[in-house]
Structure 1
């Protein structure tokens, strides 16, 4: 139990709580726009940036963030070029991210162990700089979402109607994708690039089953994510388990229980 009061665990808890706000908040709009897989795409690109950061001595999380934001513009450019095949943009960017990551892995054999920690998450290694970056991203995401909540709502349900009503659809699309890139690039050190999509989508999947109101669904998804993050970190800390995996498995268990309850199955 002493681990729960250690400095590194408190930093991990703070970082997890911050990502627990931003990930499902962005996830709601991604799910509604049928762009759930964008998380995997940007996560792979972020890993490529992290690998390059280790190679060049640049702050790895910062390099990953730059790569993710650049990739977000690429996704929007491709989505515009292939309007009828929006998912194609995600596949292309993901392929590029995997290719770059593989190349940098080959060039930096001495750093592979460090990069691999970002694949599965290394929340216990968060330092004050990491927390500052996560905190700034959280502030930016929450602020932008508060200001443009109604516009994002309309864009998610009916993009054509949003365009007809005079909303700057192109700018809003880019803004959502860039914010998603920021969230994913800061979340990979917490839950890992292989698991980050779960934090974006599973809380949303649960909230959509429990709520008929969009606003309540947004709030509920954040609450569910925070419960999973705190519970997962405590369980992982006490029993020496992988934190990211524990958080995701808890979310899956909550989804299964919710589905069973909706079907009237006795638990």
Structure 2
């Protein structure tokens, strides 16, 4: 136990580790809050679809020598709105519209990367995460946007809860369902973009889905599910960062593996209960 405390103390002496912990924890909390609304609405794969969109925007930003995060946020937000529009006005199922946008985005990203002589180191780090080299600007942006996301979720919590379980009932209560669906889509697009530094565009959807489905195995209450999801998500990020640093492993992949282990444990506990 003393050795573990000593190792943690040594790790926390590094400035880049502190930045990784702060940014990773905030994004974990944001993704956990949004995850339950997406999973229960059976719309969880939108995170994966928007992650593919962010791949194209990152490739475009690196080609134009611009900030990948600043360029990705508005474009990914527009893509999330397009997915909703396709679902609402063209009788296309949600998963189909996500598939259309994500496959097009991957193809576009590959074409753009080929213009810059293929997959360079920078693009690879955005594909699979590089939280240990997060910049001060990315940290500040993550803090600001994460706080905005949390405040909006808290402000519209009751309405979001209502549309998650029954949109028709929410409409009869006078709730603007369409507006809130757009709000969720924009918030998830921002979370996806922020998360590409943590686990990368290819793995960010796991931070949205894993903690929520893990929490659902252990809780029957909506609020308790959110709380457990946040605990699991933050714990997975912290353990993933420490383990990857100690054993020189890819941080993003390690965080996802820890999330997967937590899910398996929750399944076992659920079976026992």
User: Normalization by structure 2: what TM-score?
Assistant: 0.93
Q: CA deviation at 1:174?
A: 0.4
Q: CA deviation at 1:242?
A: 1.0
Matching residue of 2:40? 32
Q: CA deviation at 1:197?
A: 1.0
Matching residue of 2:27? 19
| Equivalent residues of 2:63, 2:113 under 8 A apart | no
> For 1:181-220, what aligned pairs fall within 5 Å after superposition?
181-220=189-228
| Equivalent residues of 2:192, 2:204 under 8 A apart | yes
Matching residue of 1:253? 261
> For 1:146-157, what aligned pairs fall within 5 Å after superposition?
146-157=154-165
Matching residue of 2:270? 262
Residue 115 (1) aligns with residue 126 (2)? no
Q: CA deviation at 1:264?
A: 2.5
Matching residue of 2:234? 226
Q: CA deviation at 1:109?
A: 1.8
Matching residue of 1:43? 51
> For 1:66-105, what aligned pairs fall within 5 Å after superposition?
66-83=74-91, 85-105=93-113
Matching residue of 2:152? 144
SS of equivalent to 2:179 = helix
Query: Structure 1 stretches (4+) deviating beyond 4 angstroms?
Result: none
Q: CA deviation at 1:3?
A: 4.1
Aligned length: 265
With over 3 angstroms needed to count, the CA separation of the structure-2 counterparts of 1:12 and 1:87, relative to structure 1, is: same
Deviation string 1:34-74 (CA, Å, 9 cap, x unpaired) is: 01111111011111111111111211111121221111111
| In 2: Cα distance, 1:151 partner to 1:261 partner | 32
Q: CA deviation at 1:225?
A: 0.4
RMSD: 1.5
Residue 162 (1) aligns with residue 147 (2)? no
With over 3 angstroms needed to count, the CA separation of the structure-2 counterparts of 1:39 and 1:148, relative to structure 1, is: same
| In 2: Cα distance, 1:126 partner to 1:177 partner | 25
Q: CA deviation at 1:166?
A: 1.3
User: Normalization by structure 1: what TM-score?
Assistant: 0.95
Matching residue of 1:178? 186
SS of equivalent to 1:117 = helix
Q: CA deviation at 1:163?
A: 1.6
| In 1: Cα distance, 2:98 partner to 2:119 partner | 28
Structure 2 gap segments, 5+ residues each: 1-6
Residue 124 (1) aligns with residue 124 (2)? no
Matching residue of 2:18? 10
SS of equivalent to 1:36 = coil
Q: CA deviation at 1:86?
A: 2.0
